[in-house]
């Protein structure tokens, strides 16, 4: 049976695009290198029509499919299980920008388009596509939409869902839904687009999307501020919103220990102001007028923040290169954490107003229950989203720590998130890592509705089975 399917897949995509031998690690191993599966084959169709034919062939053979974009997801959602029976459907070859409509401020691109090339295509046409995350050199727009990715500009422009107007999808039965509308208003029944966005490949395969473009700002300015506490960081956010309004496009918080890891492991990077402050904040302002206007706004904001005592010291980047360096420090935190050793990651959100109390209580709880734990806290404070991570005690055996405490740490953190009316996955999705936790923390009614949708749209359970919902 497998041989017959493989032959059909070769007939559809061509011999060289059905990989069964050689080193398939790039498709079989997750980005964090925590899990390696075994694929029946990696298939790389070259068009939407080929994707549809691949799906129909797999459905006929009752073989399940794992859609994959850049394989940068952090919840083990885009790699096969270890059965050797799943087909990885890579969208890598679908990477054309199909159209740009300047008057409608839209761009239509195929799912495998790498986010950075999409940003560049928008820029070349004189526009901004604002979705931005540290994985942008490898992740694809299809993967961004399938996970409803967030990133560093959500505060102003929203997450991937907010940036998408239309989709083209190959359904679980292998039909093509042509929903590539560029409409900003369309109330004609259930919103199928929003159903597929964030479904992590469990309902169908996104093959193209029509996305929103924005005018390029005249200037972008970055500042770095030292704050004494998370309360002060939230107070600064309020002030920044008052002073900058919609010009505030980024607001990231970084704990002292997190920045200390960057300083320790990437000595060539200059990490400003961190040794004297509990937290640092990275602010970005985008201005439609001029750099001088942006700078004046920033200066007034920082004066007000120092006057009220929520900021102790601050620097405003003098050049684009300096701004990039500041962002580079922020983006290096996950890598510095990896250098420091194995760790436990959480991607949580709670209402911004409750973040300081959440951090206070949860820090205290973890430190009491597991003496010596080191808390790596950073994230998109403007969105109420923290990467609230836990590093093993210094000098110990990190692998043994994870074996002994990972489950306990997760339970402590996610129970706290629930007490604070938050979410256990703010931007990375559920994948296979958080399926069990979702069952605990999502309401039974919501889970039941999700299962109803899954079985209606994917009756044979062949679309990324076991991800988001238990198989």
Q: Name the site residues for ligand FAD (rule: CB under 6 A).
A: 31, 66-74, 77-78, 91, 111, 133-135, 139-140, 142-144, 146-147, 149-151, 200-201, 205-206, 334, 427-428, 431, 464, 467
From the list 123, 113, 100, the residue with the least C-alpha distance to 145 is 113
Of 252, 402, 408, 221, nearest in space to 318 by CA: 221
Q: In whole angstroms, what is the distance from residue 140 CA to residue 137 CA?
A: 9
Q: Which DSSP helix (H) or strand (E) runs through 364?
A: helix 355-369
- Least Å distance between CB 225 and ligand FAD? 21
Closest residue to ligand FAD, judged by C-beta, is 143
Whole-number minimum distance, CB 401 to ligand FAD, in Å? 23
Nearer to ligand FAD, 272 or 465 (CB): 465
Task: Pick the closer one to ligand FAD by CB: 302 or 381.
Answer: 381
- Looking at the Cβ atoms of 116 and 312, the one nearer to ligand FAD is 116
41, β-bridge pairs: 87
Cβ atoms within 10 Å, residue 264: 12
Residue 239, exposed/middle/buried by CB under 10 A (0-12, 13-18, 19+)? middle
Q: Quote the least distance from Cβ 175 to ligand FAD, whole Å.
A: 15
Cβ contact 114:209 at 8 Å: no
CB of 387: closest distance to ligand FAD in angstroms? 9
Q: Smallest gap, in angstroms, from Cβ of residue 128 to ligand FAD?
A: 18
- Nearest distance, CB of residue 450 and ligand FAD, angstroms: 15
DSSP letters, 180-214, are ----S---SSS-HHHHHTTSTTSSEEEEEEEEE-E
Beta bridge partners of 128: 214
CA 387-388-394 angle, to 5 degrees, is 120
Per DSSP, the residues of 49-77 read HHHHHHHHHHHHHT--EEEESSS--SSS-
Nearest approach in angstroms of CB 404 to ligand FAD is: 27
Please say which residue, 149 or 234, places its beta carbon nearer to ligand FAD: 149
Beta carbon nearer to ligand FAD, 154 or 226: 154
Closest approach of Cβ 66 to ligand FAD, in Å?
6
Q: How far is CA 463 from CA 10, 80, 203, 428, in A?
A: 20, 11, 6, 19
Q: Which residues contact 233 (CB under 8 A, 6 or more apart)?
A: 227, 253, 279, 281, 310, 356, 381
CB nearer ligand FAD, residue 81 or residue 200: 200
Shortest distance in whole angstroms from residue 299 CB to ligand FAD: 29
CB closer to ligand FAD out of 73 and 272: 73
Distance set, CA 161 to CA 38, 165, 195, 290 (Å):
31, 8, 10, 30
Least CB distance to ligand FAD at residue 365 (A) = 26
Nearest CB to ligand FAD, comparing residues 152 and 297: 152
Whole-angstrom distance, CA of residue 343 vs CA of residue 74: 13
Q: 131 or 244: whose CB is closer to ligand FAD?
A: 131
145/310 with CB nearer ligand FAD:
145
Buried b (16+ CB within 10 A) or exposed e, 111-146: bbbbbebbbebbeeeebbbbbbbbbbeebbbbbbbb
Minimal distance, residue 383 CB to ligand FAD, in Å: 10
Phi and psi angles of residue 246, each rounded to the nearest 5 degrees, phi first: -70, -10
Measured from the CB atom, is 374 or 434 closer to ligand FAD?
434
Cβ proximity of 86 and 65 under 8 Å = yes
């Amino acid at each position: 049976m497998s041989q017959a399917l493989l032959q059909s897949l070769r007939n559809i995509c061509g011999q060289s695009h059905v990989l069964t031998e050689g080193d398939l690690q790039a498709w079989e191993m997750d980005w964090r290198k925590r899990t390696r599966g075994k694929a029946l084959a990696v298939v790389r169709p070259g068009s939407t029509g080929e994707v549809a034919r691949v799906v129909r062939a797999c459905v006929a053979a009752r073989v399940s499919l794992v859609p994959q974009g850049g394989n940068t997801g952090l919840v083990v959602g885009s790699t096969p299980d270890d059965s050797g029976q799943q087909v990885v459907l890579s969208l890598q070859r679908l990477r054309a920008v199909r159209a740009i409509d300047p008057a409608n401020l839209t761009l239509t691109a195929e799912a495998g388009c790498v986010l950075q090339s999409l940003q560049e295509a928008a820029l070349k046409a004189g526009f901004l596509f604002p979705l931005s995350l540290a994985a942008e050199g490898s992740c694809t727009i299809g993967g961004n939409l399938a996970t409803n990715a967030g990133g560093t500009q959500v505060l102003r422009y929203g997450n991937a869902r907010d940036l998408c107007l239309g989709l083209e999808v190959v359904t679980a039965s292998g039909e093509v839904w042509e929903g590539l509308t560029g409409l900003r208003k369309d109330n004609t029944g259930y919103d199928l687009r929003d159903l597929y966005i964030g479904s992590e490949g469990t309902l169908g395969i996104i093959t193209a999307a029509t996305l929103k473009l924005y005018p390029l700002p005249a200037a972008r300015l970055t500042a770095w501020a030292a704050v004494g506490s998370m309360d002060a960081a939230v107070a600064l956010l309020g002030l920044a919103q008052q002073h900058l309004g919609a010009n505030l496009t980024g607001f990231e918080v970084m704990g002292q220990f997190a920045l200390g890891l960057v300083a320790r492991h990437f000595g060539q990077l200059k990490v400003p102001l961190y040794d004297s402050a509990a937290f640092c904040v990275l602010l970005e302002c985008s201005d439609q007028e001029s750099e001088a206007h942006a700078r004046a706004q920033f200066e007034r904001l920082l004066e007000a923040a120092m006057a009220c005592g929520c900021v102790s010291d601050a620097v405003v980047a003098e050049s684009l290169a300096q701004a990039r360096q500041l962002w580079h420090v922020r983006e290096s935190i996950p890598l510095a954490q990896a250098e420091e050793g194995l760790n436990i990651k959480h991607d949580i959100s709670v209402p911004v107003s409750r973040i300081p109390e959440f951090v206070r209580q949860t820090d205290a709880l973890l430190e009491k229950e597991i003496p010596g734990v080191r808390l790596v806290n950073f994230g998109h404070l403007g969105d109420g989203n923290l990467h609230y991570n836990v590093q093993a005690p210094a000098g110990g055996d990190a692998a043994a720590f994870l074996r002994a405490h990972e489950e306990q740490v997760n339970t402590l953190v996610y129970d706290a998130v629930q007490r604070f009316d938050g979410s256990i996955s703010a931007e990375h999705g559920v994948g296979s890592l958080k399926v069990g936790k979702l069952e605990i923390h999502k309401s039974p009614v919501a889970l039941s509705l999700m299962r109803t949708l899954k079985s209606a749209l994917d009756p044979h359970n062949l679309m990324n089975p076991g991800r988001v919902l238990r198989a």
